[in-house]
Amino acid sequence: MIDRPEAEAVLRRALRRAPVVLLVGARQVGKTTLARRIVPPQSENHFDLEDPADLARIEQPMLALGDLTGTVVIDEVQRHPELFPVLRVLADREGAPANFLVLGSASPTALRQSSESLAGRVEIIELPGLGPADVADVDTVWLRGGYPRSLLAENDDDSLAWRRSYLRTLANRDLAEFGLTLPSSTLERFLGLVAHHHGGPVNAAAIASNLDIGESTVRKYLGGLQDAMLIRALPPWHSNQGKRLVRTPKTYYRDSGLLHALWGNVTSRTALLRHPAVGNSWEGYVIEEILRRAAEERPYFWRTKDGAELDLLLDGHRRLGFEVKRSDAPRLTPSMRSATKDLTLEHLWVIYPGSRRYRLSETVTVLPFRDLIALSSVSELS
């Protein structure tokens, strides 16, 4: 396995600050491995709520947890949300004899209602998959995605076999936790249909017709995929400007490797480069890398009914725009000019797979993807 020193350092700092730290991320993304760097699995302070023995140990949680000291790990907490009020009581004890690292395979939004009792006591950290900065290999991460067992497989065939097995497990068991209760074969088709809308708005009516289900069910299931941290719905930017804006979110699979497995015929880098939607795949891959460096910013996309568009807008301490281009030498376009002016961008960055950084205007710069992934935060862009 690959060490993740930055993620471990972030986690240890959070545990010094907060009595409860909630580490969230999709299944198999590496949360348990990281937590074992903090508390070894053989320790009495480690509870895996998918292990029957640990479930028996924690059947009376106040008794099981009350006498423990130091850091206590509780894995797969979304299966037992009734533990959150218990953690509140334990976190409020005088002298704080223990703090708690709680792992969940669900988004903060999905866990928020359950964890409301911990308001003011919990710090939430999202763990993404491995990225190109972790392994110094842009193309392999793009093809295989960031799940450790997929990325570190011996060859591309083994990686693809793991991803297909992972998707079957999601359809057969795990997605039911998020309200996706159709037969597994139908769920697998649903995942594939969503993949064909990657990088654009999802046509709920078309998917509903294809699967013979209601549009409301499709929308509910898309919400479930967001809660499971499988897809990202990028909201449109709204403003009071006169231009008519597109108001439907764009949807991306957050892991490019799962996307390619769902496309079915992407078995190698050569096959990926030949795929008709290779540009959409590259766009989603780059956007995820930008967003892992922009945790404090609010992300949007922008598109007018007249065709002007911006792939990503970050609104926070600075207002920055990003265009993703899979081309050798991006040029200044009318859309870039329009976005810079209409959105009052501080700067617009055009991310591409080349090696040379250059200016297109005073406020538009072409930036190699490798330069982006060398940054720890978009705040370093200048």
Q: Is the pLDDT of residue 241 over 70?
A: no
| CATH 3.40.50.300-classified regions of the chain | 5-126
The CATH number of the structural domain formed by 5-126 is 3.40.50.300
pLDDT, tens digit, 9 for 90 and up, residues 185-214:
999 999 999 999 999 999 999 999 999 999
The residues facing 172 across adjacent strands are: none
Please say if the pLDDT value at position 244 is more than 90: no
The per-residue pLDDT for range 274-320, each reduced to its tens digit, is 999 999 999 999 999 999 999 889 999 999 888 889 999 999 889 99
Q: What is the pLDDT of residue 78?
A: 82
Please give the Cα distance from 132 to 141 (Å, whole number): 6
The average pLDDT across 46-51 equals: 93
Q: What is the pLDDT of residue 1?
A: 67
Q: What was the pLDDT predicted at 253?
A: 98
Tell me the whole-structure pTM to 2 decimals: 0.93
The pLDDT assigned to 112 comes to 75
51 has pLDDT over 60: yes
What is the band of 42 on the pLDDT scale with cuts at 50, 70, 90? very high
pLDDT value at residue 113: 65
Q: What is the per-residue pLDDT for 307?
A: 82
Amino acid at position 368, single letter: P
Report how far residue 230's alpha carbon sits from residue 284's, in angstroms, rounded to the nearest whole number. Answer: 13
* Residue 148 banded pLDDT, cuts 50, 70, 90: very high
Mean pLDDT of 77-93: 90
Count of all residues that appear for the chain in the document:
382
pLDDT, tens digit, 9 for 90 and up, residues 108-117: 777 776 677 8
Residue 111: its pLDDT value, please? 77
And the tokens for 279? 């540009």
pLDDT score for 240: 56
Could you give the percent of the chain with pLDDT greater than 90?
Answer: 84
Cβ contact 321:378 at 8 Å:
no
Taking the CA atoms of residue 72, residue 150, residue 258 and residue 115 in that order, the dihedral angle to the nearest 10 degrees is 0
d(CA 104, CA 296): 21
Quickly state the pLDDT bin for 265 (edges 50, 70, 90): confident
Q: 79 pLDDT band (50/70/90 cuts)?
A: confident
Alpha-carbon distance of 40 to 101, in angstroms, equals 13
CA distances from 39 to 34, 35, 75, 112, 175 (A): 9, 6, 11, 25, 28
115-145 confidence digits (pLDDT tens): 778 888 899 999 999 999 999 899 999 999 9
User: Across the chain, what does the average pLDDT equal?
Assistant: 93
Phi, psi of 37 (to 5 degrees): -75, -20
